[in-house]
Amino acid sequence: MLNAKLSDAVAAIRARTDMVPEIALTLGSGLGPLADHLDGTTIPYADIPHFPVSTVQGHDGVLMVGTLFGRACVAMRGRVHMYEGYSAQEVAFPMRVMAALGAQTAIFTNAAGGMGEGMQVGDLVAIEDHLSLAVASGHDPLRGPNDPGIGERFVSMNRAYDPELIDLVQSLSPDIARGVYGHLVGPSFEPPALIRLLKLAGVDLAGMSTVPEVIAARHMGVRVLALSAVTNIAVSSTADSHVTNEAEVWESIRIIEPKLLALMQALIPGLPAVEA
């Protein structure tokens, strides 16, 4: 039962800290150093019952609970992905734990390939909608028995990415655009034919995370803000000889880190409080 698993995980965390977080942060590939500024308790994922453990470089695999820029936060320093072999439900479980700890607002960051008009490596983009071929084909984290004590059976994904929070981000950094995120399982990078299909569907970004966690957050009534860091430009033609590789992505992340940190320093203190 999900409730029992959540209770086990929350109890293990509560044994180490009694702080009730307002904000949950899921920090994607290479973006974990933001958590260096969080003052609090660090718990390895392996020490939390039922918690999936990160297996990918750049995902440190620790949960941090404490104060970040003046706000009570819980932060995942690194996430897990379906391509590691986890189900959508397992990928979403950490978000459920953070919500059960008390978080009412969730901020997600990820690394993504850009395909929207004018996008460049180093851009930050606020996600305003998503398209998930995995979810559409049956890998929805809400699939299976529903616990009404956690959320409703059917959950709307319209405005899943909170427009007020997106407006707040753009007021702080007007150069941040909005975009549609295409969720793919990976770990292979997208072939040109798939990029062309996604472009036809109005997708601006392609990545391998975030959507299962967002669905779980909305299922539990948590407000969502998601930001993609454009680490490469997606190739849409086999005539283009460029081959996207992991080294390219990591180099781009190093450029983006200071920009993301500056945004969070301005954003987190001003996030509206949400009544539980």
Q: What's the CA gap between 99 and 105, in Å, rounded?
A: 8
Q: Find out whether 111 is annotated in a ligand binding site.
A: yes
Q: Find out whether 251 is annotated in a ligand binding site.
A: no
Give the up-direction half-sphere exposure of residue 148: CA atoms within 13 A in the CB hemisphere: 0
Q: What's the CA gap between 184 and 206, in Å, rounded?
A: 7
For 221, the token pair is 């009534």
| Count of beta carbons in the 10 Å neighbourhood of residue 179 | 24
Q: Find out whether 29 is annotated in a ligand binding site.
A: yes
Q: Find out whether 84 is annotated in a ligand binding site.
A: no
Q: Find out whether 80 is annotated in a ligand binding site.
A: yes
- Compute the radius of gyration of the chain from its Cα atoms: 18
Q: Find out whether 158 is annotated in a ligand binding site.
A: no
Q: Find out whether 173 is annotated in a ligand binding site.
A: no
Q: How far is CA 53 from CA 124, 191, 265, in A?
A: 27, 29, 28
Q: How far is CA 25 from CA 68, 137, 149, 165, 174, in A?
A: 10, 28, 23, 14, 22
Q: Find out whether 54 is annotated in a ligand binding site.
A: no
Q: What's the CA gap between 214 and 157, in Å, rounded?
A: 9
Cβ burial of 153 (10 Å; 0-12, 13-18, 19+) is: exposed
Q: Find out whether 190 is annotated in a ligand binding site.
A: yes
Annotated binding site for a purine D-ribonucleoside: 190, 232
Residues marked as binding for phosphate? 29, 59, 79-81, 111, 209
Annotated binding site: 29, 59, 79-81, 111, 190, 209, 232
